[in-house]
Amino acid sequence: MNKKIADAINAQINAELWSAYLYLSMGTNFRAKGLDGVANWFEVQFKEEQAHAMIFYQFMQSRGARVVLKPIAKVETEWKTVADAFADTLAHEKKVTDLIHKINDLAIKEKDYATQNRMTWFIDEQIEEEEEAAKLLETAKMIGDNNVGMYMFDKELAARTYVQPSVLK
């Protein structure tokens, strides 16, 4: 793996771990507000982001490249409403999609076929991440400050469970 690709993937491992940290922060924010189902959704998202970091981690090691971990920047700690958190989630996932596309562009430029192949998995994954965040944002906005609606939404999000991606060893 050439240095440009290795640097870009190391930066992406940091971005995925920052994402995990962001969603864990959202999780604890909603635990504190008594919305345990919403918190559960973000805690599962935390595990998914850790899995994304590990997929890159294992990919680099399979290719004989050294993973170099950098400091994780601080995250927000307060979200007033569920809609605010899903709006931030959607905006963040769009940024992540950009980062994934840039690594893919670099892999094409550097003729790194293995990295292009791995990025295809992430490109597909980002479609789902954006679709899900957009759908949940729309629902949260529709519910607004309707307590019964939020009670039901919270119950629905409590059902989310973590499924380990099949590409993770």
**Interface with Mg ion by CB under 5 A: which residues?**
16, 49, 52
- Between 52 and 118, CB nearer to Mg ion: 52
CB 10 → Mg ion: shortest distance, Å? 15
CB 97 → Mg ion: shortest distance, Å? 9
- Between 16 and 154, CB nearer to Mg ion: 16
Distance of CA 104 to the CA centre of its chain: 18
For the chain, how many residues are written? 169
- Between 50 and 150, CB nearer to Mg ion: 50
Q: In the numeric block, which tokens belong to residue 100?
A: 């994934």
- Between 21 and 36, CB nearer to Mg ion: 21
DSSP state of 74: P
Residue nearest to Mg ion (CB): 52
CB 12 → Mg ion: shortest distance, Å? 9
CB 16 → Mg ion: shortest distance, Å? 5
49: Cβ contacts below 8 Å, ≥ 6 apart = 16, 17, 19, 20, 23
Q: In the numeric block, which tokens belong to residue 16?
A: 């995925």
Q: In the numeric block, which tokens belong to residue 25?
A: 């922060």
